[in-house]
């Protein structure tokens, strides 16, 4: 009947499962999700999605959703009203601020949440509490890539668009596995490679799907990417292959940079990286032969002590070969979360207001002081690594965190948990009772993306709107409303009635997205920053200028940072990353039956060689031990990993097998991104399968 037809609702939304930013219509009837329908209008994916975008939504109706605010009483929690919870938060946070100062408070934002929510979080920290102690999970992943790009070309984002990837003659992927982590983006490369003669080189410890498809798979010794990247750049210069005209007109620092490469000979690179000289030359020659090169990289590069420097080396290579500013060229740091780009763009970072405007810049600060009507701190805040240390040292006393499973995803989990235990007051806001929530004093029930409006920014700097498909379940509320309530309980007078008003305010204060409005993003419309006031957006960065005073890029010399030394007993290298089917710590996808049925838990990948040496069978239970902790996990024997290198997908809900009990507190020197990938363990066999 027509009655029934009107109950079926069709809503445009944006996927929450990775930085590709697929958008599609979701069909619902009451709370039932009928289907996902991608359409040709979707700017990124057209009619494609991956398994997560297509089937990963049932979690919104999980009986495990948080229903009401919860307040700790000894070792349990009782259900409270919103007013009671908000009053408690306001009074506790205010008392701690008065006793220990503004910088004893810390705020963790969320790359799963919208731009508007992240904007409000940093505004709350800065204008209501007076601290710049606000950070987000880009600290766990792509901050080093941003640093590498800031040093050399000026903008911390993909320099081109995803559509351009198919225009490149050559794709070089370093330390990334887009076939599982960015599936729809990977499809474009697979297609161009298979049908249109595009060449593909993959440098990775694992023979992952992209490496299997590649024309050339480089397998470097762990943590040595900077060396081979610098060596092929030197070879390219020595052969006279550098892009002379481009370098002369558009790039500074050539002589100094060339001098810095002196020690990076092919001999040295072959010896330290284990990549045969012939493969290094082949890589350089393929780059020289290509009219356009795109380099894609992710956590395999960034999560090292030298992550920022290796990211810089990638950008240097692109500059030397003139691969910026044209279609089918450029730097593509692949953002993991759906809105990791936007969270950083909107200022949930300790040293930057929205749009990477420095808190130390007096003019910028005065602009925000005027707009927000309060005095702001000019001292850059703690990043999340410093927050954890700050709690251990007694400097940080209270934390407010939303949509971040820090207890599982930060490195050295035991160290992080011990910090949480020491907090005087801890507020966690989430959709589920997360591992992190177990440490909280107050837990606030938030609404997932389908229950609210807002915008996300994907890996190619593209703003897209999501519309509300469902009402908030139980007493949950959208994060932006909760943050506003907390501000208003503390005497702020925020009056946003719709996320569009938050965007309007942010755009006014931020030149990078001055022309972003909800009207210009209606339906499937999208904009890529920088967006000028008249709404002109930017598909390819640096076509004419680099955003430095003289308009020129900068070659930036870097040195090799050797990996962390380990005791001999930790004889196996442990790598970690993602799985196609699950998202991150799994709070969402482990609440989707179909996905859990297919991939019920995580596992450790072991090479045939090692399995033979240790007499291991597929499915055996082993204990992995590092200096920081231990986990127990099932073995999967595979040719994806090499010799004494192991791989554990990070995606699990099970405490016993979470890889970050093993990882250390070592970190990238420039950004404090944990060196998750510099890890060695030993293995004990507990039971054969």
Q: Contacting ligand SF4 (CB under 6 A), which of 12, 21, 219, 270?
A: 21
Instruction: Rule CB under 6 A: say whether 183 interacts with ligand SF4.
Output: yes
φ and ψ at residue 572, rounded to 5 degrees? -120, 135
Identity of the residue, 22 or 317, whose beta carbon is nearer to ligand SF4 in the bound complex: 22
Instruction: Rule CB under 6 A: say whether 52 interacts with ligand SF4.
Output: yes
376 in Cβ contact with 368 (< 8 Å):
yes
| Structure-token match 């072991």, residue found | 606
Q: Contacting ligand SF4 (CB under 6 A), which of 12, 13, 17, 145?
A: 17
Instruction: Rule CB under 6 A: say whether 354 interacts with ligand SF4.
Output: no
What is the DSSP-derived secondary structure letter of residue 355? G
Of 427, 475, 472, the closest CA to residue 86 belongs to: 427
Structure tokens at 286: 């393929």
Angle at the Cα of 124 (from 122 to 130), degrees rounded to 5? 95
Furthest-apart CA atoms within the chain: distance in Å: 77
Instruction: Rule CB under 6 A: say whether 18 interacts with ligand SF4.
Output: yes
Identity of the residue, 125 or 595, whose beta carbon is nearer to ligand SF4 in the bound complex: 595
Burial class of 220 by CB neighbour count within 10 A (0 to 12, 13 to 18, 19+): buried
Q: How far is the CB of 338 from ligand SF4 (least distance, A)?
A: 7
Q: Between the CA of residue 423 and those of 38, 111, 417, 483, what are the distances in Å?
A: 45, 23, 10, 20
466 in Cβ contact with 449 (< 8 Å):
yes
Structure tokens at 445: 């029930």
Instruction: Rule CB under 6 A: say whether 49 interacts with ligand SF4.
Output: yes
Q: How many CB atoms lie under 10 A from the CB of residue 271? A: 12
Task: Report how far residue 205's alpha carbon sits from residue 224's, in angstroms, rounded to the nearest whole number.
Answer: 11
User: Interface mask (CB under 6 A) for ligand SF4, residues 140-179, using x and -?
Assistant: ----------------------------------------
Q: How far is the CB of 157 from ligand SF4 (least distance, A)?
A: 17
Q: How far is the CB of 183 from ligand SF4 (least distance, A)?
A: 4
Q: How far is the CB of 663 from ligand SF4 (least distance, A)?
A: 24
Instruction: Rule CB under 6 A: say whether 50 interacts with ligand SF4.
Output: yes
Identity of the residue, 21 or 445, whose beta carbon is nearer to ligand SF4 in the bound complex: 21
Instruction: Rule CB under 6 A: say whether 20 interacts with ligand SF4.
Output: yes
Interacting stretch for ligand SF4, rule CB under 6 A, among 59-67, 180-188, 320-328, 415-423? 180-188
Residue whose C-beta lies closest to ligand SF4: 53
Structure tokens at 678: 């510099």
Q: Contacting ligand SF4 (CB under 6 A), which of 80, 85, 176, 184?
A: 184
DSSP, collapsed to helix, strand or coil, labels residue 216 as strand
Task: Report how far residue 561's alpha carbon sits from residue 307's, in angstroms, rounded to the nearest whole number.
Answer: 9
Identity of the residue, 20 or 670, whose beta carbon is nearer to ligand SF4 in the bound complex: 20
Q: How far is the CB of 222 from ligand SF4 (least distance, A)?
A: 27
317 in Cβ contact with 233 (< 8 Å):
yes
Q: What is the 3-state secondary structure (H, E, C) of 285-317?
A: HHHHHCCCEEEEECHHHHCCCCHHHHHHHHHHH
Q: How far is the CB of 451 from ligand SF4 (least distance, A)?
A: 18
Angle at which helix 266-273 crosses helix 225-238, to 10 degrees, equals 160
Task: Report how far residue 309's alpha carbon sits from residue 558's, in angstroms, rounded to the nearest whole number.
Answer: 6
Task: Report how far residue 373's alpha carbon sits from residue 611's, in angstroms, rounded to the nearest whole number.
Answer: 64
Interacting stretch for ligand SF4, rule CB under 6 A, among 44-52, 140-148, 258-266, 544-552? 44-52
Interacting stretch for ligand SF4, rule CB under 6 A, among 17-25, 222-230, 636-644, 666-674? 17-25
Q: How far is the CB of 191 from ligand SF4 (least distance, A)?
A: 14
Identity of the residue, 183 or 253, whose beta carbon is nearer to ligand SF4 in the bound complex: 183
Q: Contacting ligand SF4 (CB under 6 A), which of 13, 15, 200, 561?
A: 15
φ and ψ at residue 135, rounded to 5 degrees? -150, 170
Identity of the residue, 49 or 323, whose beta carbon is nearer to ligand SF4 in the bound complex: 49
Instruction: Rule CB under 6 A: say whether 210 interacts with ligand SF4.
Output: no
Binding site for ligand SF4 (CB under 6 A): 15, 17-18, 20-22, 45, 49-50, 52-53, 182-184
């Amino acid at each position: 009947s027509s009655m029934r037809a009107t109950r079926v609702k069709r809503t445009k939304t944006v996927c929450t499962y990775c930085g590709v930013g697929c958008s599609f219509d979701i069909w619902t009837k009451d709370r039932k999700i009928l289907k996902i329908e991608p359409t040709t209008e979707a700017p990124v994916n057209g009619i494609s999605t991956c398994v997560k975008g297509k089937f990963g939504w049932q979690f919104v109706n999980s009986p495990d959703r948080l229903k009401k605010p919860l307040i700790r009483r000894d070792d349990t929690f009782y259900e409270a009203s919103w007013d009671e919870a908000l009053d408690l938060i306001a009074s506790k946070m205010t008392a701690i601020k008065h006793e220990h100062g503004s910088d004893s408070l810390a705020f963790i934002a969320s790359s799963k949440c919208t731009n508007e929510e992240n904007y409000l979080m940093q505004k709350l920290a800065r204008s209501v509490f007076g601290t710049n102690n606000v950070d987000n999970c880009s600290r766990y992943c792509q901050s080093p890539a941003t640093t590498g790009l800031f040093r050399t070309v000026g903008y911390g984002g993909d320099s081109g668009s995803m559509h351009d990837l198919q225009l490149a003659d050559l794709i070089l992927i370093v330390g990334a596995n887009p076939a599982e982590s960015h599936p729809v983006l990977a499809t474009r490369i697979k297609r161009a490679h298979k049908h249109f003669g595009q060449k593909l080189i993959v440098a990775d410890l694992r023979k992952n799907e992209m490496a299997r498809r590649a024309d050339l798979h480089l397998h470097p010794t762990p943590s040595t990417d900077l060396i081979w990247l610098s060596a092929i750049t030197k070879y390219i210069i020595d052969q006279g292959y550098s892009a002379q005209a481009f370098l002369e007109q558009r790039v500074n620092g050539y002589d100094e940079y060339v001098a810095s490469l002196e020690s990076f000979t092919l001999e040295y690179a072959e010896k330290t990286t284990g990549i045969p000289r012939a493969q290094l030359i082949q890589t350089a020659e393929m780059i020289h032969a290509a009219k356009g090169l795109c380099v894609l990289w992710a956590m395999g590069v960034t999560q090292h002590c030298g992550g920022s420097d290796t990211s810089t080396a990638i950008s240097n290579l692109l500059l030397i070969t003139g691969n910026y500013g044209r279609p089918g060229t450029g730097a593509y740091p692949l953002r993991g979360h759906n809105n990791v780009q936007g969270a950083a763009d909107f200022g949930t970072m300790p040293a930057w207001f929205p749009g990477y405007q420095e808190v130390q810049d007096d003019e910028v600060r005065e602009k925000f002081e005027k707009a927000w009507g309060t005095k702001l701190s000019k001292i850059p805040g703690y990043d999340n690594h410093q927050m954890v240390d700050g709690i251990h040292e007694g400097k940080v006393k209270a934390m407010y965190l939303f949509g971040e499973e820090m207890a599982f995803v930060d490195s050295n989990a035991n160290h992080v948990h011990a910090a949480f235990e020491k907090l005087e007051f801890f507020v966690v806001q989430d959709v589920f009772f997360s591992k992190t929530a177990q440490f909280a004093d107050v837990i606030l029930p938030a609404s997932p993306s389908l229950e609210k409006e807002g915008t996300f920014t994907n890996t190619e700097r593209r703003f897209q709107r999501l519309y509300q498909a469902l009402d908030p379940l139980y007493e949950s509320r959208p994060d932006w409303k909760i943050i506003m309530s907390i501000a208003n309980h503390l005497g702020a007078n925020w009056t946003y009635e719709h996320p569009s008003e938050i965007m309007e305010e942010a755009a006014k204060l931020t030149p990078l997205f001055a022309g972003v409005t909800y009207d210009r993003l209606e339906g499937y419309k999208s904009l890529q920053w920088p967006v000028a006031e008249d709404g002109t957006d930017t598909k390819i960065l640096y076509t004419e200028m680099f955003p430095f005073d003289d308009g020129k890029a900068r070659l930036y010399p870097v040195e090799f940072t050797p990996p962390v030394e380990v005791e001999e007993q930790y004889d196996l290298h442990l790598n970690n990353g993602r799985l196609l089917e699950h998202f991150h710590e799994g709070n969402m996808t482990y609440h989707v039956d179909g996905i859990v049925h297919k991939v019920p838990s995580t596992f450790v990948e072991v090479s045939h060689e090692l399995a033979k040496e240790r007499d291991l069978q597929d499915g055996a239970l082993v204990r992995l031990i590092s200096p920081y902790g231990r986990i127990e996990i099932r073995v999967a024997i595979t040719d994806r990993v090499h010799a004494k290198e192991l791989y554990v997908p990070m995606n699990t809900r099970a405490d016993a097998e979470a890889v970050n009990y093993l990882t250390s507190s070592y970190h990238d020197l420039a950004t404090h991104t944990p060196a998750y990938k510099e890890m060695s363990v030993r293995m004990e066999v507990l039971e054969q399968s």
